């Protein structure tokens, strides 16, 4: 007994000695002396890069400057934003409409900047909504969501929005296999293998306007599509998707979807798919999805429900899709700048397989198949493999490129970024991240022309990096300098939501893209605009009251309104008359049930308000606009329902007292 | 009679003077640049022969704090006259080539100088009027403060620095004046001795 106790102590002492001596170096120690200087952006100076970071469960996108890590803006996309009135104003509500009505939140994972010739062009950025399958286009002249399209036949819109090299298409692969909307969905869950299907959507993007259109969908086996990237250069015309759960399990996936040694990377020949569509091989299927567009001249969103989608059965076509075996639950799927190498990262694998596009084309030519998977040819692993990066780390997730022949892969389990040579597959350098890194981003790192210089790692856990804020800590990113042979940690900076994927581009590319400073009031075609104080009025239509109001430093017109009654449905259509950069005004009403509005110079926005109490209700400007901002306010008199107080409004003059009853 | 004729060079210069007068009709003549901490990009008021240009609306908006009257092209009779004045000047410059008389050129130079002096007085008068005649109900009142911009040069007006200088058109007119002076100088000083 005693002996055993001594042994146990010895084991613990020895074990901990061994453990402390092998303790890996902490990422906090890795900061070099002049890091602060290298991320310092002096007052009055601008950052070098814009970094667009997905907001995860916040549903929004945040914008940071690099290398400072300063947050510049949160752009509302899929979630309501009371700060700006997004999803609360009458004009923006249609933007969050879906085939199942208004859905005011989402889970935003990936972002993709538009490209021309495989290079980032700074025009738009696309965002996915994971929960209610949607794709948004944010206009980077305005930093405003311009379009949201819902995706039918999909569930868990994860492998999106990835684009082709001229932004011909935005693609979106479903994460969850589910029966198509055009099939009977009322089936036992354990009939997954027969009844569940996967659909990949191809959304066409208009070259000039950026307007999206759901062009067609591919009908595929019910596997989970995880991530994707388009081919480029020589592999332009192809798309690559990682697939997991090729076991097609429907319960306890953590065990049942990890059975096979290899899942797949699916290569899609979308040019071939286009040919089949042209030849009339697609089938129009019944469905329902919303397509919401923002009009910059009416300052209004419109939601249209569409009821058809063109579906091409890729399983029956045999030469659109090919599967490449990829070890253990592949996650990231990244194509190098030349378009030759496709990097698959198996979450559970201890190596990184790198596939060769040339070998793949060759193998397809020779029909070098090891069989098929529900009608889709499976290519032989060794025929398509360029090679494997040996012992890179544990849990490879995502890879980006610096344009100099190097790849950088994140390792979730071993919490590090590893730099390796794409051709020789030799590991060149590794740096620790704190803790459990997910995606990474190099400016232009998934394009034909990466800008190199910086790498940002987006981490899943933040313990001890920042001042604690209760059980929930801020989300986080880490900035590395990759301009030299060795990666160097420069900065930690907090982010909103859970950052997943991100994109970055040189600041000038975005700043000089025709960036908008104000909305031209002469081009304001909002149906209820008041282009000057003379056009302001209050109109009653039954129990609906429309207030055509203007705002200018430092008053509203009108600022006294009487004759509103309990039970009325009041719409404030407010136009900001300013034509001066950075002079928005805010509008808020006491006890407004929704939100405030933030209205840009020259813009018109509408707040709906339903008064429920008799009394005097003040309203005021919420965005400090001038020395007299505090004076920018007004009053509404709310009378009982059925009162005969006449409707009146004024600015600057007191009208004769209205009757009191 | 003969000594009153103009040299070829003078005639060419007169044509240039005429073109400068015409050109000045299409570009701003005068500019008042304003800058303040909250306007790092600056604000600009541009006076053309026929209108006020630049950031008029923004400046009007700002001026309401101190009770300055708002600026509107239609409130200035000058903008209806000036295009004709410059047109006439251009016409005279060209006609002088044919009149071919150095005394007439001298007369024109005197007229132009008088015009410039009058314009200066008129500009000063307007500046004085706008800078002093303030709304007694203005939000911001600084005792003894007037907001008269400088006739030419720089002046600090509260948090705004005002910089009043000729714009392209103004420089064209200056050039026209100088050329006229050169012609007169040459014709009267050197011609006699030859
Ligand atoms: Cu305001």
Closest CA to A450 of A403, A510, A482: A403
pLDDT of amino acid A18: 45
Chain B, residues 149-178, CB within 8 A of chain A, namely: none
Query: Per mean pLDDT, which of A32-36, A152-156, A580-584, B38-42 is the most reliable?
Result: A152-156
Residues 6 or more apart from A98 whose CB is under 8 A from it? A132, A134, A150, A289, A290
Decide: A418 and A429 in contact? Cβ < 8 Å: yes
What per-residue string of b and e applies to A159-184 under the rule 16 or more CB within 10 Å gives b?
Answer: bbbbbbbbbbbbbbbbbbbbbbbbee
Sign of CA dihedral A239, A245, A246, A250: negative
Q: Are strands A633-639 and A560-565 parallel, antiparallel or unpaired?
A: parallel
Tell me the two tokens of residue A630: 């505090």
| Cβ count near B50 (within 10 Å) | 18
pLDDT > 80? residue A614: yes
pLDDT of amino acid A28: 52
Question: Using a CB cutoff of 8 Å and minimum separation of 24, what contacts does B38-46 make?
Answer: B38/B159, B41/A581, B45/B71, B46/B167
Decide: A291 and A309 in contact? Cβ < 8 Å: no
Pick from A515, A578, A580 the residue to mutate for testing the B interface (most B CBs within 10 Å).
A580
Taking the C-alpha atoms of residue A177 and residue A198, their distance in angstroms, rounded to an integer, is: 5
pLDDT of amino acid A24: 46
Element (H, E) at A573: strand A569-576
Interchain contact, B139 vs A581, CB within 8 Å: no
Interchain contact, B61 vs A552, CB within 8 Å: yes
pLDDT of amino acid A262: 82
Decide: A438 and A458 in contact? Cβ < 8 Å: yes
pLDDT of amino acid B48: 94
pLDDT > 60? residue A563: yes
pLDDT > 60? residue A104: yes
Is A626 an interface residue toward B (CB < 8 Å)? Answer: yes
Taking the C-alpha atoms of residue A492 and residue A474, their distance in angstroms, rounded to an integer, is: 11
- Going across the sheet that includes B160-166, the strands are B52-54, B39-47, B30-36, B160-166, B153-157
pLDDT of amino acid A643: 95
Q: CA-CA distances (angstroms) from residue A174 to A138, A197, A218, A243, B56?
A: 22, 9, 11, 10, 54
Taking the C-alpha atoms of residue A277 and residue A321, their distance in angstroms, rounded to an integer, is: 15
Please give the angle made by the CA atoms of B153, B155 and B159, to the nearest 5 degrees. 145
pLDDT > 90? residue A400: yes
pLDDT of amino acid B41: 84
Which pTM does this prediction carry? 0.88
Residue B37 pLDDT level (bands cut at 50, 70, 90):
confident
pLDDT of amino acid A590: 95
Is B42 an interface residue toward A (CB < 8 Å)? Answer: no
Task: Provide the mean pLDDT of chain A.
Answer: 92
Only one residue has tokens 């309501």, namely: A80
Taking the C-alpha atoms of residue A327 and residue A385, their distance in angstroms, rounded to an integer, is: 12
Element (H, E) at A377: strand A376-379
pLDDT of amino acid A9: 52
pLDDT of amino acid A463: 87
- Nearest CA distance, A441 vs chain B (angstrom): 34
Taking the C-alpha atoms of residue B147 and residue B127, their distance in angstroms, rounded to an integer, is: 8
Beta bridge partner(s), residue B166: B30
Residue A23 pLDDT level (bands cut at 50, 70, 90):
very low
pLDDT > 80? residue A235: yes
Residue B36 pLDDT level (bands cut at 50, 70, 90):
confident
Interchain contact, A628 vs B139, CB within 8 Å: yes
Only one residue has tokens 């070099």, namely: A32
Chain A residues in contact with B65 (beta carbon < 8 A)? 626-628
pLDDT of amino acid A17: 44
Q: Report which of residues A9 and B148 the model is more confident about.
A: B148
Is A552 an interface residue toward B (CB < 8 Å)? Answer: yes
Decide: A354 and A409 in contact? Cβ < 8 Å: no
Per-residue pLDDT averaged across A51-62, rounded?
A: 97
Is A555 an interface residue toward B (CB < 8 Å)? Answer: no
Taking the C-alpha atoms of residue A425 and residue B7, their distance in angstroms, rounded to an integer, is: 85
Taking the C-alpha atoms of residue A140 and residue A314, their distance in angstroms, rounded to an integer, is: 35
Residue B23 pLDDT level (bands cut at 50, 70, 90):
very high
Task: Provide the mean pLDDT of chain B.
Answer: 89
Chain B residues in contact with A552 (beta carbon < 8 A)? 61
Query: Least CA distance to B43: which residue of chain A?
Result: A580
Interchain contact, B61 vs A578, CB within 8 Å: yes
pLDDT > 70? residue A11: no
pLDDT > 80? residue A658: no
Closest CA to A400 of A502, A494, A498, A330: A502
pLDDT of amino acid A557: 95
Query: Per mean pLDDT, which of A64-68, A190-194, A394-398 is the most reliable?
Result: A64-68
Chain B, residues 45-74, CB within 8 A of chain A, namely: 55, 57-58, 61, 65
In chain A, DSSP finds a helix count (H) and a strand count (E) of 9, 45
Digit-coded pLDDT (tens) for A419-473 = 999 999 999 999 999 889 999 999 999 999 999 899 999 999 888 889 999 999 9
Among the residue ranges A66-70, A72-76, A480-484, B35-39, the one predicted with the least confidence is B35-39
pLDDT of amino acid B194: 43
pLDDT > 90? residue A213: yes
Chain B residues in contact with A581 (beta carbon < 8 A)? 41
Residue B190 pLDDT level (bands cut at 50, 70, 90):
low
Residue B3 pLDDT level (bands cut at 50, 70, 90):
low
Decide: A64 and A53 in contact? Cβ < 8 Å: yes
Residue A29 pLDDT level (bands cut at 50, 70, 90):
low
Per-residue pLDDT averaged across B88-115, rounded?
A: 90
Decide: B112 and B89 in contact? Cβ < 8 Å: yes
pLDDT > 50? residue A16: no
Interchain contact, A626 vs B140, CB within 8 Å: no
Interchain contact, A627 vs B65, CB within 8 Å: yes
Residues 6 or more apart from B84 whose CB is under 8 A from it? none
Digit-coded pLDDT (tens) for B10-20 = 889 999 999 99
pLDDT > 80? residue A406: yes
pLDDT > 80? residue A528: yes
Interchain contact, A628 vs B41, CB within 8 Å: no
Query: Least CA distance to A601: which residue of chain B?
Result: B58
Q: Report which of residues A560 and B4 the model is more confident about.
A: A560
Residue A30 pLDDT level (bands cut at 50, 70, 90):
low
């Amino acid at each position: 007994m005693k002996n055993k106790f001594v042994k146990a102590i010895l084991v613990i002492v020895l074990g901990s000695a061994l453990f402390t001596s092998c303790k890996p170096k902490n990422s906090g120690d890795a900061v070099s002396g002049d890091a602060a200087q290298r991320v310092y952006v002096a007052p009055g100076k601008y950052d070098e890069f814009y970094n667009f970071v997905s907001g995860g469960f916040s549903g929004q996108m945040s914008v940071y400057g690099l290398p400072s890590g300063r947050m510049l803006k949160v752009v509302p996309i899929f979630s309501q934003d009371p700060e700006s009135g997004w999803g609360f104003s009458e004009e923006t509500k249609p933007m969050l409409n879906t085939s199942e009505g208004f859905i005011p939140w989402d889970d935003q994972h990936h972002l993709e900047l538009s490209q021309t010739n495989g290079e980032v062009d700074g025009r738009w950025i696309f965002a996915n909504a994971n929960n209610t399958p949607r794709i948004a286009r944010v206009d980077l002249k305005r930093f405003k969501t311009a379009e949201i399209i819902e995706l039918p036949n999909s569930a868990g819109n994860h492998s999106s929005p990835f684009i082709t090299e001229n932004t011909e298409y935005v693609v979106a692969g479903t994460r969850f296999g589910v029966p198509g909307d055009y099939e009977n969905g009322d089936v036992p869950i354990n009939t997954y293998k027969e009844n569940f299907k996967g659909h990949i959507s191809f959304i066409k993007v208009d070259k000039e306007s950026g307007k999206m259109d759901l062009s067609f969908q591919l009908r595929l086996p019910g596997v989970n599509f995880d991530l994707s990237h388009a081919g480029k250069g020589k592999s332009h015309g192809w798309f690559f998707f990682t697939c997991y759960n090729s076991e097609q399990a429907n319960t306890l996936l953590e065990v049942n979807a990890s059975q096979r040694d290899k899942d797949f990377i699916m290569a899609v020949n979308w040019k071939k798919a286009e040919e089949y569509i042209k030849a009339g091989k697609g089938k129009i299927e019944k469905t329902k999805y919303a397509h919401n567009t923002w009009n910059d001249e009416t300052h209004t969103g419109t939601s249209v429900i569409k009821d058809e989608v063109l579906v091409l059965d890729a399983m029956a076509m045999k030469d659109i899709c090919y599967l490449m075996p990829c070890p253990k639950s592949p996650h990231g799927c990244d194509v190098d700048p030349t378009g030759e190498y496709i990097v698959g990262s198996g979450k559970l694998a201890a190596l990184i397989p790198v596939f060769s596009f040339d070998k793949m084309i060759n193998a397809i030519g020779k029909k070098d198949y090891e069989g098929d998977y529900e009608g889709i040819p499976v290519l032989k692993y060794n025929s398509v493999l360029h090679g494997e990066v040996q012992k890179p780390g544990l849990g490879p997730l995502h890879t980006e490129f610096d344009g100099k022949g190097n790849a950088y892969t994140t390792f979730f389990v071993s919490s590090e970024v590893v730099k390796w040579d794409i051709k020789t597959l030799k590991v060149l350098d590794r740096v620790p991240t704190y803790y459990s890194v997910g995606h990474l981003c190099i400016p232009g790192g998934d394009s034909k022309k990466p800008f190199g210089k910086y790498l940002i790692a987006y981490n899943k856990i933040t313990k001890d990096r920042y001042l604690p804020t209760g059980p929930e800590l801020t989300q986080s990113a880490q900035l590395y300098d990759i301009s030299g042979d060795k990666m160097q940690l420069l900065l930690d900076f907090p982010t909103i939501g859970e950052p997943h994927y991100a994109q970055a581009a040189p600041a000038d590319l975005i700043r000089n893209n025709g960036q908008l400073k104000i909305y031209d009031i002469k081009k304001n075609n909002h149906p209820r605009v008041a282009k000057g104080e003379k056009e302001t009025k209050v109109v009653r239509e039954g129990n609906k009251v429309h207030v055509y109001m203007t705002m200018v430093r430092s008053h509203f017109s009108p600022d006294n309104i009487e004759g509103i009654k309990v039970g009325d449905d009041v719409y404030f259509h407010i136009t900001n008359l300013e034509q001066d950069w950075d002079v928005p005004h805010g509008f808020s009403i006491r006890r407004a049930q929704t939100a405030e509005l933030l209205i840009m110079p020259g813009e018109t926005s509408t707040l709906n308000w339903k008064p429920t109490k008799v009394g005097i209700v003040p309203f005021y400007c919420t965005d400090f606009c001038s020395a007299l901002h505090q004076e920018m306010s007004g009053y509404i008199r709310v009378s009982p329902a059925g009162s005969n107080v006449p409707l009146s409004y004024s600015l600057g003059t007191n009208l004769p007292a209205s009757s009191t009853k | 009679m003969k000594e009153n004729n103009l040299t070829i060079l003078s005639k060419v210069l007169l044509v240039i003077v005429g073109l400068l007068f015409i050109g000045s009709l299409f570009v701003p003549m005068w500019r008042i640049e304003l800058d303040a901490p909250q306007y790092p990009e600056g604000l600009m008021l541009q006076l053309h022969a026929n209108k006020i240009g630049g950031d008029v609306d923004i400046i009007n908006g700002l001026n309401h704090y101190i009770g300055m009257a708002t600026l509107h092209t239609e409130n200035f009779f000058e903008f209806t006259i000036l295009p004709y004045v410059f047109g006439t000047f251009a016409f005279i410059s060209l006609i002088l080539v044919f009149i071919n008389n150095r005394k007439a050129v001298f007369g024109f130079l005197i007229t132009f100088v008088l015009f410039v002096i009058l314009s200066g007085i008129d500009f000063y008068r307007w500046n004085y009027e706008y800078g002093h005649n303030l709304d007694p109900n203005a939000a911001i009142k600084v005792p003894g403060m007037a907001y008269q911009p400088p006739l030419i040069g720089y002046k600090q007006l509260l948090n705004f620095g005002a910089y009043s200088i000729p714009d392209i058109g103004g420089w064209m007119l200056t050039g026209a004046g100088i050329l006229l002076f050169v012609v007169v100088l040459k014709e009267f000083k050197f011609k006699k001795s030859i």
